[in-house]
Amino acid sequence: MEKIKKIDIHAHATPFPQYVPKHKDNQERCLSDEELIGLYEKLDIEMGVLLPCVSPEAQTHPNTSEAAKFMVDKHPDRFVWFCNIDPRSVYNLPTTDHTYLLEHYKSLGAKGLGEMTINMYIDDPMLENLFACCAEVDMPVTIHMAPEVGGYYGIVDDLGLPRLEKLLKKYPKLKILGHSHHFWAEITKLANEEERNGSQWSKVVPGTIERLMRECPNLYGDLSAGSGGTAMMRDPEYAAKFMTEFADRLFYGTDICDIPSTFPGNLPYDFAAFLDNMAETGMISMDVYKKIVRENAIKFLNLDLD
Ligand SMILES: [Zn+2]
């Protein structure tokens, strides 16, 4: 098969690995830009999107927009970046005009906003205000989704993602990249919270994600991490149909963030191999494969690549 270099829609790194705290229990730490490039060499990834995380729920220390931009300046041929803003920024108000900051980061080359990890309901006025500002300046947003407030990081929705649906339909110009377990769990029909929180390896009975992707052209799928990878690998027949129908709005990704990696097994390698194999065996067309692992990112992020 023709070798296609992949583009990673979702990764995290720090330019200051010597300063960032290690995880108390397992001594993992955020990896450096150079370490991430080392993994990209092994995974045959040409370029990745660096996502800052600024809300305190997700980590011990903020990973800022400025740090992401700094790493892009060091390695402009390997990285692009999103900026990030906590919706409580500048006076903790639902009326703050964030377009000023968004335009600032956009002028420095930011391609979007995320990963949004604040643990607040999606339709909290403060968060909705930030989404509206992103729609206004055409900044796509990568969301990490959680099931409740407290004990999680990520924006909160109920079973069946009704609040996300309302948001997507209210702001048709807002582009959302869906990510995390509680987003991709909805690929299958879910009966209750237990199923929503549980591990996800059974065959897919088409659920909320398929319907939302059909009804909301502004919803995109970030296939990174165990969540996105599992949603595809759990049921290759369904994955082939899903990837073919939504070939223009799905993105390959890794969500590599720590070293040594927290991924169970060899997830980034397994998922890359899974996609390669889907194309090699003809379960998806070469056209669909190329879009998902590379071409969609080039178009969506306006990258200077072929
Ligand atoms: Zn992430």
Does residue 305 lie in a domain region?
Answer: no
Contact, 256 vs 31, CB < 8 A? yes
User: Distance between CA 13 and CA 15 in Å, rounded?
Assistant: 7
**pTM for this entry:** 0.96
Q: How confident is the model at residue 229 (pLDDT cuts 50, 70, 90)?
A: very high
Please tell me the distance between residue 12's alpha carbon and the centre of ligand 1 in angstroms: 7
Ligand 1 centroid from CA 196, angstroms:
20
Rounded Cα distance, 238 and 89, in Å: 41
Mean pLDDT of the chain: 95
Establish if 306 belongs to a structural domain.
no
Residues with CB in 5 Å of ion ligand 1: 115, 255
Q: How far is the CA of 155 from the centre of ligand 1 (A)?
A: 13
Q: Assess if residue 1 is contained within a domain.
A: no
Q: Is residue 241, in this structure, part of any structural domain at all?
A: yes
- Residue 220, strand partner residues: 177
Q: How many angstroms does the Cα of residue 257 sit away from the middle of ligand 1?
A: 7
Instruction: Quote the pLDDT of residue 263.
Output: 57
Residue 153 counted as domain residue = yes
What's the whole-number mean pLDDT along residues 230-245? Answer: 97
Distance 253 CA to ligand 1 centre (A): 10
The tens digit of pLDDT for each residue in 247-298 reads 999 999 999 988 866 555 578 889 999 999 999 999 999 999 999 999 999 9
Distance 36 CA to ligand 1 centre (A): 14
Q: How many angstroms separate the Cα of 154 from the Cα of each of 151, 190, 286?
A: 10, 20, 34
Strand partners, 222: 251
Q: Is residue 32 part of a domain?
A: yes
Average pLDDT over residues 212-222: 98
Evaluate whether 146 touches 156 at the Cβ level (below 8 Å): yes
Report yes or no on 272 lying in a domain.
Answer: yes
Token pair listed for 30: 């955020």
Pick from 10, 31, 187: nearest CA to 116: 10
CA of 45 to the centre of ligand 1 (A): 17
Nearest C-alpha neighbor of 183 from the set 152, 149, 160, 153: 160
Average pLDDT estimate for 156-179: 98
The share of the chain scoring above pLDDT 70, in percent, equals 98
**Which pLDDT does position 265 carry in this prediction?**
59
Q: Is residue 42 part of a domain?
A: yes
CATH of the domain at 163: 3.20.20.140
Q: State the residue range of the domain holding 267.
A: 6-300
Q: How many domains does the chain divide into?
A: 1
